[in-house]
Amino acid sequence: MRPISLSILAILLAVASPHAKPPTFSEHVSSIIYNNCTSCHRNGEIGPMPLTNYSEIAAYADMIKHVTETQYMPPWKPDYNYSQHIGARTLTKTEINTIANWVNAGFPQGDIALEASMPEFPTGSVLGTPDLVLTMAEPFTIRGDNEDQYQVFVIPTHLTEDREVEAVEFRPGNSRIVHHALIGADITGTARQRDLETPEYGYESFGAFGAPTAVVLPGYTPGAKPSIYPKGVGHILPKNSDLLIQVHYAPWPLAESDQSSINIFFKKEPIEREVGFISFAPLTTDGKTLSRIFRVLLGEERHGGTPVEKIRINDIFIIPKDRVKTFHTTLFINRDISLLSIYPHMHLLGKSWEIYATDPQGNRTNLIRIEDWDFNWQGNYTFTQYQKITAGSQIHAITTYDNTTNNPLNPNSPPRQSTWGEKTTDEMLLAVMEYIPYRPGDENIALTVGRGGEISIDFNGNGQKDFADFLLFVQNFGLTRSDASYQRHFDLNGDGHINFTDFIIFANQFSAG
């Protein structure tokens, strides 16, 4: 106990003392920037200004202070205090303050011997050798007119049998312009036909793939790591299917080109539970779905039918001009399921999301909240552990749209009424969730990033989960990636922060026997 009390005293003194030395780049700031910013902010990646050494970082010191204080960077849209998802790109209050104090002090460099080492950024696959690599048949050249471009590319898989998928890794060909990518598979030939009907490679589609998808695979956002499905769980990529990738190219003033590829890793062991989908969707009031896409998204074709008993929406999906409109959509779940991830999707009028589940006893589980929806930062958010939804639960989505002139992204000026559709001026209300049928013990399984394997809380390696491990965990509680004494194996969900979320995982693992 003694060293702990001494260190607390030292911290208190450091905080209280008006003569405390300002933070320096080498000792305090370099590890924050290198571990949270540099994976995107280096040459050839999407982050525009390289942040790879003192000079480059000092040159943007005031800007870095501003974007971290306003939490514009690192980009992470979900409310981190509402629910936890893996790979969260967030800084702690302490880290943000450290940067601010360093800039206010005139951003001193300090002793270069104390500078943090640069993490190793993989140049190839982060997962290993893929079983199948599918590459765009030819480079695609963007218009270079400062407008966003959303292009769907159709890549035949040539699979002669259904294959079970463990992980999908999108590899941008030109990281400067590829902003994000959605990945799916089509078995109807619709997308292939659409590609033939356009003169250019691929076809333009803003809202989604513009074709029915047999399966939707995890997509890509810059800075995110590909997720691996847990043991016995995965997707099935159908034989003869065409892989569809919808690539969002960021606004760019030059006509650059891109040729991206996708690494696919097949399961080493058989899938026991295939990943299915359920989704919010604004059904028409007579209860009919809007298109076949939803029948697939709603999971009718897996696990003997969808676990969604019915969907209810409080109003017809029309967003009148000059109005801020909120919809309340409810899914009624008829059996026990475990949720893996959630992918909210709306367009430019979209303003906010809140999604939570209530069980028959009235207990609430928060799933995701996004206060400041940004179409360009949409993504698939994997929960830090399976979210059990019991039979008889309801999942609620509260979605708000701003169709006034106060919304700078409003595609119409003056505003015009909007409803469901795939065009930029249309709207959507979709939150696709990956699920599997529930099995006892699911709630104790953490969903990790990367090829991490099973989580272990046997920190001292004595072969037992015991009180000594608990003490070790407590001693490391509160540390973040930028702390010198941070050790990855205490950060059970791998989000860079050893906090309450990890404690819940620890407690579950501990009580799991």
Partner 1 sequence: MHKMITKIFWIVVALLLSSGSGLCTPYKIYIFMGETCPISRHYTLTLKELHAQYASEKLEFTGIFPNRLSTPATIAAFKEKYALPFTCIGDATHTWVNRLGATITPEVVVADTSHTAIYRGRIDNTFASLGKRRRVITEHDLADVLNALKNEKTPAFRQTRAIGCIITSGQKTKQE
Nearest approach, Cβ of residue 306 and partner 1 (Å): 36
Nearest approach, Cβ of residue 248 and partner 1 (Å): 13
User: In the complex with partner 1, which residue's Cβ is closer, 144 or 450?
Assistant: 144
Given a contact cutoff of 8 angstroms between Cβ atoms, the answer to whether 327 and 399 are in contact is yes
User: In the complex with partner 1, which residue's Cβ is closer, 187 or 409?
Assistant: 409
DSSP-derived secondary structure letter, 119:
P
- Distance in Å from the first CA to the final CA of the chain: 28
Nearest approach, Cβ of residue 225 and partner 1 (Å): 22
Paired strand residues for 204: 151
Nearest approach, Cβ of residue 429 and partner 1 (Å): 20
Q: For every residue of 289-342, which 3-state class applies, written as one string?
A: CCCHHHHHHCCCCCCCCCCEEEEEECCCCEECCCCEEEEEEEEEECCCEEEEEE
User: In the complex with partner 1, which residue's Cβ is closer, 41 or 273?
Assistant: 41
CB atoms within 10 A of CB 159: 16
**Positions in the binding site for partner 1 (CB under 8 A):** 22, 24, 48-50, 54-56, 58-63, 66-67, 70, 72, 106-110, 145-146, 251, 253-254, 348, 374, 376, 408-413, 424
Nearest approach, Cβ of residue 344 and partner 1 (Å): 18
User: In the complex with partner 1, which residue's Cβ is closer, 410 or 493?
Assistant: 410
Nearest approach, Cβ of residue 484 and partner 1 (Å): 21
Given a contact cutoff of 8 angstroms between Cβ atoms, the answer to whether 272 and 438 are in contact is no
User: In the complex with partner 1, which residue's Cβ is closer, 104 or 314?
Assistant: 104
Instruction: Supply 21's token pair.
Output: 């030395």
User: In the complex with partner 1, which residue's Cβ is closer, 272 or 374?
Assistant: 374
User: In the complex with partner 1, which residue's Cβ is closer, 206 or 265?
Assistant: 206
User: In the complex with partner 1, which residue's Cβ is closer, 254 or 512?
Assistant: 254
> Exposure of 97 by Cβ count < 10 A (0-12 exposed, 13-18 middle, 19+ buried)?
middle
User: In the complex with partner 1, which residue's Cβ is closer, 108 or 450?
Assistant: 108
Tell me how far CA of residue 17 lies from CA of 11, 21, 100, 103, 479, in angstroms: 10, 9, 18, 19, 23
Instruction: Supply 357's token pair.
Output: 């589940």
Tell me the C-alpha distance between 374 and 45, whole Å: 21
Q: For every residue of 9-50, which 3-state class applies, written as one string?
A: HHHHHHHHCCCCCCCCHHHHHHHHHHHHCCCCCCCCCCCCCC
Nearest approach, Cβ of residue 387 and partner 1 (Å): 29
User: For residue 438, which of 513, 394, 386 has the smallest C-alpha distance?
Assistant: 386
Nearest approach, Cβ of residue 446 and partner 1 (Å): 32
Nearest approach, Cβ of residue 430 and partner 1 (Å): 21
Tell me the C-alpha distance between 501 and 495, whole Å: 10
Sign of CA dihedral 384, 390, 391, 396: negative
CB atoms within 10 A of CB 423: 12
User: In the complex with partner 1, which residue's Cβ is closer, 41 or 267?
Assistant: 41
User: In the complex with partner 1, which residue's Cβ is closer, 8 or 49?
Assistant: 49
Name 336's Cβ contacts closer than 8 Å, sequence gap at least 6.
388, 389, 390, 391, 437, 438
Nearest approach, Cβ of residue 29 and partner 1 (Å): 13
Paired strand residues for 265: 167
Instruction: Supply 384's token pair.
Output: 């830090």
Nearest approach, Cβ of residue 62 and partner 1 (Å): 4
